Chain A
Amino acid sequence: MDNIAGTKSSLTWAVHISVVILVALWLFPTLGLLVSSFRTSDQIATSGWWNATFPSTQNLTLRTEPPKSQIEREGEFIIEGNLFGSAGSSQIQVYGIASNALGAYQVGETAPLRNGGTITVLANGDYQMKNSEAFKGKRGQRVFVTAETPPKFTLENYRNVLFDPANSEGMAKAFFNTLTVTIPATIIPILVAAFAAYALAWMEFPGRALLIAMIVGLLVVPLQLALIPLLKFHNFVGIGKGYFGVWLAHTGFGLPLAIYLLRNYMVGLPRDIIENAKVDGASDFQIFVKIILPLSFPALASFAIFQFLWTWNDLLVALVFLIDATGETTVMTKQIVELLGTRGGNWEILATSAFVSISVPLLVFFAMQKYLVRGLLAGSVK
């Protein structure tokens, strides 16, 4: 359409800018979490993540060495050292020695101490305290500095969340639990649904239209209704809460969409192939296994992605059917909700855990987007 006279408007640049803004708006929140997961807790707490690539200015309270480390030189008592422990990359701009006069002195200037003597602080944190008589007391002098720290990113958070054996968050365990829930819950419904979809697409029998209508209806039944009756049922047959129950539940909840998607796809396959096979003496079972199943791969793939994303991201079904009082079988979504409740301020742990949990679906999403879109277009009822 762009080649018709009058459509190539001068507004093209406006379109580009609008899309840039839209994409930026949609990306910005996720980017914030990603950047935060690579920062230390101090950095997250003292500056916005959008400042992460700039040096950050922090107000720090540091201490000099205690008086017992003083040395006597040419009649003066001297304490020397570095406020940061060792000269690092932070640059001090101003400093003070009282909490009510934070930036009273420039670096290099000499400040008089309240209990006698003087202190000089340099930009890299080196200091020298001088006094004509010995320094007294147990603790070092407090120094209030305003320091500029260059941007720094760390993988420490990921190491803590995933590999630290002492880590109480148990993200690694939750990760494997989630995987254990997801894979059977994705694979089992596919096969069940494929057979049913074939019957609904290519076999003639009374009541077929009614069944299809029923499946379309079941597509939108909120699974909230199923929670208590099914929990009662699981307890009744002795499954209780556990992996088996959650696999069954996900299978049941995923089936309407699976059947609907696959039937819609199979009905579109060319009639000739199937009729030729029938003429050649193939049974329905053979036609299904040898012809329909391989041809339906795109639809199978798109349902598999849906079901994978849905089971991986699920919280409610896991809460109700899987996670018991011991908490051994917790999944990542539950773990993150827990972190939100108990450690809502620890953004470095929260951000990293959240990113670990969304990285797998994101990977699947970007790798298999084609099938996902195709599935959405075929079954946009759920």
Chain B
Amino acid sequence: MHPALQGLITIVIGVGGCVAYYYFSNQFLDKVLYPPRGPRAGHNINRANLIRPWLFLFPALLALGLYLAYPVFETLRMSFSERLPGGGSAFVGLDNYSQMFAEPKFWEAMRNNMLWLIVVPGLSTAFGLLAAQLTDRISWGNIAKSLIFMPMAISFVGAAVIWKLVYDTRPIEQEQIGVLNALYLYFGGSDPQTWLTLPIWNSFFLMIVLVWIQTGFAMVILSAALRGIPEETIEAAILDGAKPFQVFFKIKVPQIIGTIVVVWTTITIVVLKVFDIVFAMTNGQWETQVLANYMYDKLFRANDWGLGSASAMVIMLLVTPILIWNVYNARKEMR
């Protein structure tokens, strides 16, 4: 069967199935199980109202449990075991972890990830704040915003191609077609550089790609926060003789610090999961390895599920503080 047709049928079955499930389960509850009639009508209504939320929630909870919650525990279990030839697995304790910690490639990935964690959220938030502040003050700000925001729609792989062209290298006797080398030679560089193979620097060249993508996100959120600042505070500061920079750093930034933290943590999560950019541009060669790509390497190239799961657990561990912080904040908000 043609996959497009298969897709169409899946949509129909999926959507139809969902609608049918919700409709008939509600009908069943109201008409058969606890009809709101007869001598026990009140009792029945209460019973039905106790059950109904779970009817509404059931498919979502099933999917969430199976596709997100269960894998966390299964991965944890697998990180403590190894595959036996011929199927099955055996408990090996911390062996996978100690083996992983002994690998220099893992520490390279850790070091790079730490660099990514500092540079990308920092630069994206800073550029986003700058762009938000500047574009809010001009008439064509919305067009400017939408152009800076545009990379958000581009896939990491597409962005990798776009930036590979920027970093392209040609031999010295040919004309450079990569902007970076062209500029480098124009400003007096002697030899065209192969940017993506220069250790340490190449990691930064990869980070720029993600900064380029995430700045738009930071800008949109921060610009909304900036516009939410009460005008009186700014007017008062100006009347008291504050300079524009003072207004920005001493009046505006402290008032949106909560939003800045949200933006920062959100980009941090993206950074921890970053895979496509490294996979497409260097595949972890020349000391650009990051955790997510290291994990993919272990899982699907080395076929070592134990080690792969252990590195996935490291990513999970790094995400956990943010997870707790988000849950804590969400609960605070609900009260």
Contacts and interface: CB of A to CB of B under 8 A. Distances in A.
Given A27-B150, A32-B162, 16 more contacts: A15-B137, A26-B216, A27-B147, A184-B11, A192-B18, A195-B22, A205-B50, A215-B64, A221-B68, A225-B75, A225-B313, A251-B67, A252-B64, A315-B155, A369-B149, A382-B269
B235 interface: yes
A73 interface: no
B71 A225 contact: yes
A49 B177 contact: yes
A225 B261 CA distance: 25
A211 B334 CA distance: 12
Interface in A225-256: 225-230, 232-233, 243-244, 247-249, 251-253, 255-256
A161 B4 CA distance: 21
Q: Which of A23, A47, A223, A350 has the most CB of B within 10 A?
A: A23
B152 A191 contact: no
A357 B155 contact: yes
Interface residues of A, number: 121
Given A19-B134, A192-B63, A48 B177 contact: yes
B266 A313 contact: no
B78 interface: yes
Interface string A89-124: 000000000000000000000000000000000000
B23 to A, nearest CB: 7
B93 to A, nearest CB: 19
26 contacts: A19-B135, A29-B212, A32-B166, A48-B176, A187-B11, A188-B18, A195-B60, A199-B52, A199-B53, A208-B53, A216-B330, A221-B319, A222-B269, A222-B312, A228-B78, A229-B71, A252-B63, A255-B67, A285-B22, A285-B23, A313-B154, A315-B280, A316-B275, A336-B161, A340-B164, A369-B149
B156 to A, nearest CB: 7
A354 B66 contact: no
Contact of A217 (B162, B235, B323): B323
Nearest to B135: A19
Interface of B: 3-4, 6-7, 10-11, 14-15, 18-19, 22-23, 26, 30, 49-50, 52-54, 56-57, 59-61, 63-64, 66-72, 74-75, 78, 127, 130-131, 134-135, 137-138, 141, 144, 146-158, 160-166, 168, 174-179, 182, 212, 215-217, 220-221, 224, 231, 234-235, 238, 244, 262-263, 266, 269, 272-273, 275-276, 279-281, 292, 295-296, 299-300, 305, 308-309, 312-313, 315-316, 319, 322-323, 326-327, 330-331, 334
B138 A220 contact: no
B63 A251 contact: yes
Contacts of B15: 187-188, 191
Nearest to A29: B162
A349 to B, nearest CB: 11
9 closest residue pairs by CB, A with B: A252-B67, A313-B155, A196-B60, A365-B153, A229-B74, A199-B56, A226-B71, A354-B161, A229-B71
Contacts of B149: 369
Contacts of B151: 26, 30
A121 to B, nearest CB: 24
Q: Which of A177, A196, A350 has the most CB of B within 10 A?
A: A196
Interface residue SS majority, chain B: helix
Contact of B138 (A9, A19, A211, A313): A19
Contact of B331 (A2, A177, A213): A213
Q: Which of A187, A225, A228 has the most CB of B within 10 A?
A: A225
Interface of A: 1-2, 4-7, 9, 11-12, 15-16, 18-19, 22-23, 26-30, 32-33, 36, 44-50, 176-177, 179-181, 183-184, 187-188, 191-193, 195-196, 198-200, 203, 205, 208-209, 211-230, 232-233, 243-244, 247-249, 251-253, 255-256, 259, 283-285, 288, 309, 312-316, 319-320, 329, 333, 336-337, 340, 344, 347, 350-351, 354, 357-358, 361-362, 364-366, 369, 372-373, 376-377, 380-382
B323 A22 contact: no
Contacts of B174: 45-46
